[in-house]
Amino acid sequence: MINLTISRECLADIKSDLEIIVVIDQQWKHPFVHDKKLLKKVGFGASQDEVCLLVERSRLYVGASSLQPEALRPAIASAVRSLLGKKAYKHIKVATYLTESTSTTSLQAMVEGIRLGSYSFTTYKSKKITSAIKKVTLSLEGYQPHTLSLEEAVAALHRGEIIADATNFTRDIVNTTPDDCYPQVMATIAKKLAKHATLNCQILKPKALRAEKMESLLAVARASRHTPRVIHLSHTPKNPKAVISLVGKGLTYDSGGLSLKPADFMVTMKSDKSGGSAVLGIMKAVAELNLPIEVHGFVGAVENMIGGDAYKPDDVLIAKNGKTIEVRNTDAEGRLVLADLLCYAQQEVKADYLFDFATLTGAAVVGVGHYTSAVMGKSEEIKSLVIQGAKASGELATALDFNPYLAKTLKSEIADICNISNTRYGGAITAGQFLSEFVDTTHQAKWAHIDIAGPAFVEHPWGENPHGASGAGVRLMLHTLEQIIQAHA
């Protein structure tokens, strides 16, 4: 774990193994840029996230397009990531890069960049390449003049560390293989988290799930040797400003069931627990930040496998709210788990806001790409709130609108609704509209569905994210919760 500290000392007075210098908007004439001629000689153009290590000068340069958090966070992360495996650099120093309008947010983004960029998942490596960095000193000497106090800087550092560590916690769960992370393991992770972070924790096993009439969720789990779990974590401060429920799809592995996925599409399906993992990460940060809101996290931990007891296309399932579902594809299983989980969350908590997270559809990736979450729901206000939270956090999100014509494609001739539409187009939207059938009238105006299939797991580094799990949804929701707190102040 890297020790981050704030110092009033000027950079020149801080002894370190390496200095990170950010070149903002290719401003070569800035006093912080000491090696202009050498940088140009080696072809360093200072474009966003471009890195150049000058070993003989003990300086690492990285480009950023601006002083805004969304540019600084990936730039610092790229610089730190470039040092993975380099054992000579144990103590790093860096100035503060901020403007008066972005003071604490830009500093927090830098802290997040350091923590997120130093992440590596090496559990299954016999030779582990990790960061040798033990300490990073952030000097209050600034790229521009500022009035940020030591107390404000320390508070921003503390918040940035908690948010980044929660994101890395989520990444670890998602990256863990299905043989090592199945429903019971996710429940154990939740219990340990609750003990560490002083959260309340309740785990529902199959007997309790049957008593709750969560037959849709149980059907998906039927063919697996790993029995399902529903996890309920809660943070309940006195006199909360608002009550929020978070619901996460925790498919620890998804084979597609009898509607078996092609072999290539089964690879990376350990990532189908990203929504549930994000909820666990969010709850960790909520508790450690001790936010003045009541937050409940619900995770449906299930494995979708094949076998003699597998649920089948043509089955009709009865969801917790009594609606019947015609199964036409067993690979559309996440929405069946979320249907019961949403009903259970609304039964247990009368929330002011309801958000669900899921790697729900490949259609979302087709529609908005690998890096962007798709936000859906019936409330323009709630969708806008989430998108603003994404923008503030550095995550990417965009709205996909429901429409009545696509809703008709979910019609079933033998049940209340089909689990897939009768068209191959608009699959992310029809999945969201399916979920809306399990959100009651009280919560419809308070609910948003967040499809994180695009950014949750990408097989190359991007921005502040490594190969594999990104922890998508964690930073987005924590910034959304911050907006909710401000709105209810």
CA distance 288 to 210: 34
Beta strands in 132-198 (DSSP E): 135-142
User: CB-hemisphere CA count at 13 Å for 305?
Assistant: 20
Question: Of 93, 229, 335, 383, which one is the catalytic site residue?
Answer: 335
CA distance 135 to 15: 12
Pairing of strands 91-96, 18-24: parallel
- In angstroms, the CA 179 to CA 100 distance is 50
Burial of residue 195 (number of CB atoms within 10 Å: 0-12, 13-18, 19+): exposed
d(CA 295, CA 234): 6
The 10 Å Cβ neighbour count of residue 112 is 28
Angle between helices 474-487 and 150-175 (to 10 degrees): 130
CA–CA gap between residue 12 and residue 342 (Å, rounded): 56
Helix (H, G, I), strand (E, B) or coil at 68: coil
Answer positive or negative: Cα dihedral of 424, 215, 201, 224: negative
Annotated active-site residue 59? The verdict is no
Strand order in the sheet with 372-376: 200-204, 229-235, 294-304, 243-254, 353-358, 447-451, 372-376, 396-399
Which residue type occupies 105?
T
Is residue 261 flagged as an active site residue? yes
Say if CB 106 and CB 98 are below 8 A apart: yes
Helix or strand (DSSP H, E) at 356: strand 353-358
Q: Which of 57, 261, 323, 391 is catalytic?
A: 261
Cα(276)–Cα(297) distance, rounded to whole angstroms? 9
| Catalytic residue IDs | 261, 335
